[in-house]
C-alpha cells in the first residue's frame, strides 16, 4: 500500500512538471484541472472538491467545507494561485485535516517564481 510520503512525493513531481510548463499566473481551478488529469493518468484514486462535514454532538453538518483534492484518502491538497499565502490558508488546511482525520496535507501556491517556495507540508497531530 502506498503511504502518505510517497503520495506526496509523486504529487509534487506532477506539480513541479506543471509549473515548469505553465509557470505562475493561471487561475487556481486551471491548476486543479490539470493536476487531476495528471493524477488520473498516474492511476491515483482521488476526490475533487470533496465536502468535509462538521460533526457536532453526533449531528453531521454540511457546513460548506470543500477540500480541493484528496488523494488515495491519505493526502489533502489545497491549491492556491495567490500573490502571498496568508495565515487563513494554513488554518483552512489544518481544519480540513482535523475534521477529516487525514494525517497529511499539502498547501501549494502555484503563483510563485519557484514552486518550492509555494509548497507547505502540514501534518495533522491527531
What does the block give as the cell for 26?
493561471
How far apart are alpha carbons 125 and 15 in whole angstroms?
Answer: 25
- The predicted model scores a pTM of 0.92
Q: For the domain bounded by 4-123, which CATH number is listed? A: 3.40.1350
pLDDT value at residue 58: 84
66-87 pLDDT tens trace: 999 999 999 999 999 999 999 9
Q: Report residue 32's pLDDT band, with 50, 70 and 90 as the boundaries.
A: very high
Instruction: Indicate the pairing of strand 104-109 with strand 75-80.
Output: parallel
What does the block give as the cell for 54?
462538521
102-124 pLDDT tens trace: 999 999 999 999 999 999 999 98
12-24 pLDDT tens trace: 999 999 999 999 9
How far apart are alpha carbons 31 and 124 in whole angstroms?
Answer: 25
How far apart are alpha carbons 96 and 101 in whole angstroms?
Answer: 8
Amino acid at each position: 500500500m502506498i503511504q502518505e510520503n510517497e503520495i506526496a512525493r509523486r504529487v509534487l513531481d506532477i506539480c513541479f512538471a506543471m509549473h515548469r510548463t505553465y509557470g505562475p499566473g493561471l487561475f487556481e481551478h486551471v491548476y486543479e484541472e490539470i493536476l487531476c488529469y495528471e493524477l488520473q493518468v498516474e492511476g491515483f484514486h482521488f476526490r475533487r472538491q470533496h465536502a468535509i462535514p462538521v460533526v457536532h454532538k453526533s449531528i453531521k453538518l454540511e457546513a460548506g467545507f470543500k477540500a480541493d483534492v484528496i488523494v488515495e484518502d491519505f493526502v489533502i491538497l489545497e491549491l492556491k494561485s495567490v500573490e502571498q499565502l496568508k495565515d487563513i490558508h494554513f488554518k483552512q488546511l489544518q481544519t480540513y485535516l482535523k475534521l477529516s482525520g487525514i494525517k497529511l496535507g499539502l498547501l501549494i501556491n502555484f503563483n510563485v517564481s519557484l514552486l518550492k517556495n509555494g509548497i507547505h507540508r502540514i501534518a495533522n497531530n491527531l
